[in-house]
Structure formats: C-alpha cells, structure tokens
Amino acid sequence: MSEKKQVFVPFLDLKAQHRPLKDELMAAFSDAVDNTAFVGGPAVASFEKNFAEYCGAKHAVGVSTGTDALRLAFLAAGIGPGDEVITAANTFIATSEAISQTGATLVLADIDPATRILDPAAAEAAITPRTKAIVPVHLYGQMAPMDEFRRVADKHGLLLIEDAAQAHGARWNGQRAGSFGDLACFSFYPGKNLGSCGEGGAVTTGSAEYAEKLGQLRDHGQSKKYHHEIEGFNARLHAIQARFLDIKLKHLDGWNAGRRDRADRYLAAMEEIPGVRLPVTRPEAEPVWHLFVIETPGRDELQAFLGEREIQSGLHYPIPLHLQPAYARLGLGKGAFPKAEKSAAELLTLPMFPDLTDEQIDWVAESVREWASNR
C-alpha cells in the first residue's frame, strides 16, 4: 500500500451537479404543482424545440425512457415481424430489447476493438435481404463513424437509426449525434450526460412524418383526444422532467467540456502503462465521455485493487449480448464476436463526471500505474 493519503473517488457525483441548480429546479417543480401541469403541454413542447435545435435536428419527440425512444422509433419507421435489425454485440440490452419488442429479428455484429463501436464492415457483412435497419450505438459517448454507416445504409437501402443514449452533444466531423440517422434515440436517465430527475427519453428526426407518428405512438395512437388512428402506448415525457431537462440543457455544453478536460487529464496521466489500453478516439470524433473505459487482461484484480483504495469503478458491460441467457435463442456461443468478447472480459469503467478533481484523477491514474507495475 502506498504511503500517500487515500482519496475517495466516487463513480459519479450527481449531487455536485444538482447543488447549484437546486433553487431553479425547485422553482420549476413548484410552478408545475401550482399549475397542475404534469403531462404534455408547453413544457414538453419547449424542451422538444430546444433539444432538437441543440442536436441540429428538425424535430424532437419527448418520450418516457430511452428504451421507449428506441422502441417507438423502430415502430414509427415501420420495423416489425419479418424484418432484421443489426446492432452491436456490446451494447446495453435496451437496444436489443427494443428491436425484439417490435417483432423484428435481432442481428448482432462485432465491434472495432480500438473504439469499441459497431464495426461498419461487420454490420455490412451481416446484411441479408430481410435487413431493414442498422443501429449504431455511440457507446461511452464515442461517436460511431456515421459517414461510413450512411454509405452502407444507402448502398443497401436501409434505415439508419442512432442509439445516442450515451452521447448527448457528441460530434462526428463537427455534426452532433442525433442529426445523422433517419431517427436517433436519447435517454435522460439521471446519470446520462443530460439526465432528468427521474426517467425520460427523446427521438430526434428530420422527418415530419416520423415525428407525427412518434407523437401518436407515445400517446395511445391519438393525435387528437379520443381519436385513435392506430394502437399506441402510454410513453409520454412527464412535463416536470421536461422542465428539469430544459434547465439542465443550458449547462450540457459546459458539463461536456468538463468531462473532456477530465478525460484529457486521465489520458495524459495514464500514458504508456504496460498492459493497459486507453480509450481511442477517431480524428473525426468529438466524444462527450459519458464513460471512461480502459481495458486490461487483469481487469478483476485491478478493480479489486482500486476498491481497496476507495476508488469506485464499473463494468459496461461485462457480458456481451450473445452470451446472455436472454439471447440463448440466437444460438451464438463463445467465439461468435471475439472482439466484443475480449473487450467485455477486459474493460473497466473509471469514475467520470465534470466535477472530478485533479487530485482524484491523479490518484486513480497513479493507482492503475502502481497496480500495473507490480503485476
């Protein structure tokens, strides 16, 4: 054990984010209670307008969760039984659940081992005559190579739908996540770069037709009260969450800049540690560092070592989808997606939030270096 004083490093400190906003958040809550404005209405419309503008998209439709954003986006695009939809083997299960829940067939593909993002060539190789859409995931706040995905999608006449749940504000060639796909899906789960104080999600799109369909799907298939054009869902964004999100959206660029600065410090402090791979960013990308994920063959030991030093860490995600019991039906065993499997076995998510101090980052980096040098 080093002689140095231990520094507690939490995985995430949302309290620090909320402290300076508390009066504004409480005033918004109080106003909503006074006006009994809880579902839909001008607060949701305001946030939708501001979020669409932020992403560089024509429309944003607020929904109840990021998972519903995906499910409703797929349904709005007409995806259903008989269709195949391709996504990354290493994504969070919400992406694949939403595909399956439309009745479509889930098709997984392997990743680029450097960026841990769905590999466009692997996705293209998985295309069949039944393929309807490709769903790249901007995992960890890193952008998928959207020009390559657009080329593949257009070449094969497929829909391109972004899972941008971890990438609010990330850019590819200067253009923001949410403005590339035919549809793009966001989560406002509290720990996301833009998080509500509960649950929330949104779909962005350039298509007025999709936006209208999404508006129906989230509200029992109606565009006018009790006139149901189709069967839909109750998947509406709460008005109180929309107010909170509008308040927080004004800070998103500042928070993302803070994350970038923290990531740069991590990257410099952990340069050339033998056996430890750092996150790789393509030159076209400007990531928003939702998560800071390193890889090392001794991952479990490193996690235990950091834990002893009061450094919290996480695993995003320790088992790729094709090896989950939920997807035993795919009949894909070990070795089906070797790059995703290796990443899952070796990844470790270090603390990442804009308020991490220099002292905390240096303590994490020093600890990783010390662990690696004593292996």
Ligand X SMILES: Cc1ncc(COP(=O)(O)O)c(C=O)c1O
**Smallest distance, ligand X to C-beta of residue 92, A:** 4
Q: Of 156, 159, 137, 117, which is closest to residue 281 (Cα–Cα)?
A: 117
DSSP-based three-state secondary structure for 229: coil
Six token digits for residue 362: 């240096």
Site for ligand X (CB under 6 A): which residue of 17, 87, 91, 204?
91
Nearer to ligand X, 201 or 215 (CB): 201
Residue 287 as a binder of ligand X (CB under 6 A): the answer is no
Residue 95 as a binder of ligand X (CB under 6 A): the answer is yes
Six token digits for residue 138: 């901007």
Residue 66 as a binder of ligand X (CB under 6 A): the answer is yes
Residue 165 as a binder of ligand X (CB under 6 A): the answer is yes
**Smallest distance, ligand X to C-beta of residue 91, A:** 5
**Smallest distance, ligand X to C-beta of residue 357, A:** 26
**Smallest distance, ligand X to C-beta of residue 27, A:** 25
H helix or E strand, kind and range, residue 149? helix 146-156
CA atoms within 13 A on the CB side of 228: 11
CB 218 within 8 A of CB 72: yes
**Closest chain position to ligand X (CB):** 66
Residue 136 as a binder of ligand X (CB under 6 A): the answer is no
- Region of 88-96, 222-230, 303-311, 350-358 interacting with ligand X (CB under 6 A): 88-96
Cis upstream peptide for 317 (omega within 30°)? yes
CB 129 within 8 A of CB 82: no
Site for ligand X (CB under 6 A): which residue of 47, 52, 65, 194?
65
x-or-dash string of contact with ligand X, 137-156, rule CB under 6 A: x-------------------
- Region of 163-171, 248-256, 277-285, 328-336 interacting with ligand X (CB under 6 A): 163-171
**CB burial readout 138-169, b (16+ within 10 A) else e:** bbbbbbbbbebbeebbeeeebbbbbbbbbbbb
Residue 163 as a binder of ligand X (CB under 6 A): the answer is yes
Site for ligand X (CB under 6 A): which residue of 178, 201, 215, 279?
201
CA atoms within 13 A on the CB side of 87: 28
Nearer to ligand X, 165 or 177 (CB): 165
Residue 196 as a binder of ligand X (CB under 6 A): the answer is no
**Smallest distance, ligand X to C-beta of residue 99, A:** 11
**Smallest distance, ligand X to C-beta of residue 2, A:** 34
Q: Of 64, 116, 115, which is closest to residue 88 (Cα–Cα)?
A: 116
Site for ligand X (CB under 6 A): which residue of 47, 149, 172, 189?
189
Q: Is the dihedral of CA 20, 23, 26, 31 positive or negative?
A: negative
State how far the Cα of 138 lies from the Cα of 170, in Å rounded to an integer. Answer: 9
Chain residues binding ligand X by CB under 6 A are 65-67, 91-92, 94-95, 137, 163, 165-166, 187, 189, 201
